[in-house]
Structures are given as C-alpha cells and as structure tokens.
Amino acid sequence: MPWNTDPGLFLGEVEPEGRPLWSIEAPVPDGETWVPLRQLLGELGDDQLKAAVRAIELASWRNQHRFCGVCGTPTRQRETEFAFECPRCDTEFWPRVTPAVIMLIHRGDEVLLARHARSPGPVYSCVAGFVEAGETLEEAVVREIDEEVGVRVGKPFYLGSQAWPFPHALMAAFLVPWASGDPVPDGHEILDARWFRRETLPQLPPGISIARRLIREFFQDPEI
C-alpha cells in the first residue's frame, strides 16, 4: 500500500483484544470510494464512531500545530501523551475541543425547532451555538436562544453531551422551558423557527445526533 504512515497517530487499543489502533492520512486507493464521516453517522457502531471522531479531531489538531504560535519554531509531539511542545520556548499545545451548547425549547406539549441556513434540505433542529470566551454554559444557552430565535426562557436543564467533530465541538445539550415571546428567526443563521407537536414533527437531523436525542427524550418516544 502506498500509504504514508508517518505521521500516523496512535489512538489507543481496541477492546477486548487490545489491538493497537492508528490513524493515518492516505490517498484513496484505486477502485475505492471514501466518504466524509458526516455521511456515515447512523451507520457506524458506537465504538467505530468514537474512534473515527477521535482520529479526525487529533489529525486536525496536529495539522494546525506544526509550529509554535508564540515563536514560530517547529513543535514536537510528546512521546507519552497527546500534546505538542515547543523545544525553544516550552509552550504546550493540547488537543483542541471547543465547547458548544444545543438546546430544545419546550412549551406545554410543543417544541421550538429551527431551520438552519447551513442545513441541507428542509431539516428542522434545535438551536445551537459556540460558547464565548468568559461565558458559562448556561449564559451561552440564554444568549444563543435570544440571538437566534428571540424568545425568553427559564432555567436550562442539562441532558448530556456529545463529541461532534465538525470541526472539534463538544456539544452540551439542554432542555429549556419557554418563558415568553414569539419566535423571530434572525434571518441569518436561522431561516425559520416554529412550534411543533409530536404528531406534526418535521424532518429531523440524524438519529445519532444529540439534537435528535433531545427531541426523543422530551417526547419520551424511542421511535423518534
């Protein structure tokens, strides 16, 4: 195989056999078709998905930290842990994970879903956004909701989290009770926002996404 295994990244061992797992960057072999990870969501098992997410995030981090951001010297990877260091000024560079919040706003038996400008087709999903510097998760929830759909909400209830490697987000998911105001899409990131009941749910994001899990948990319906 004409694959370049240098620089490969050792990801860990696959249980239960303890086989070593590496990620490498490689050209697509003749006769094969490779697809972006996003297209495989829902088809990979949990362990495969976890390994793929880790591989993509670490490869991206490595590619973006080949040189020290302080003094420009080429960095080197530590042998014992996932970190790069600068041999000249000792600055450390750790894998990059970016916190983001995603929330399902609910009112009685309805949920507020939004059509995002970035989404393919007529998919409606939860409101989401990145946490800003100096902000708590709860403050980010309230701010993003206000900016994107313009309603006031009550106290966020934390549901769970998911690594989302597009490019390196850690999504923290919340159920959030509506308090007041009609939804007004910002017209930029959000094209439409409206209330849906269980029986009128529109096309939703992939089943494996935490957005879908929020909707499933709210309606207590494993069929969603």
Interface with Zn ion (CB under 5 A): 68, 70-71, 73, 86, 88-89, 91
Q: Shortest gap between Cβ of 89 and Zn ion (angstroms)?
A: 3
The CA distances from residue 160 to 16, 56, 118, 151, in Å, are 26, 22, 24, 23
Question: Closest separation between CB of residue 96 and Zn ion, Å?
Answer: 17
Q: Which is nearer to Zn ion, 86 or 190 (CB)?
A: 86
Tell me the sheet residues that pair with 4. Answer: 25
Comparing CB distances to Zn ion, the nearer of 85 and 192 is: 85
Is the CB of 14 or the CB of 71 nearer to Zn ion?
71
C-beta of 64: minimal distance to Zn ion in Å? 15
**Distance separating alpha carbons of residues 84 and 90, to the nearest angstrom:** 10
The closest alpha carbon to 127, from 183, 197, 199, belongs to: 183
Nearest distance in Å: CB 73, Zn ion? 5
The Cα 218–Cα 102 span in angstroms is 14
Q: Which is nearer to Zn ion, 75 or 125 (CB)?
A: 75
Strands 152-153 and 169-180: antiparallel
- Within 10 angstroms of residue 14's Cβ, the number of other Cβ atoms is 13
Beta strands in 15-156 (DSSP E): 19-25, 76-77, 84-85, 92-93, 98-107, 110-116, 127-130, 152-153
Least CB distance from residue 85 to Zn ion, whole Å?
9
Residue nearer to Zn ion on the CB measure, 67 or 195: 67
71 vs 97, which CB is nearer to Zn ion? 71
Q: Report, in Å, the least distance between residue 68 CB and Zn ion.
A: 3
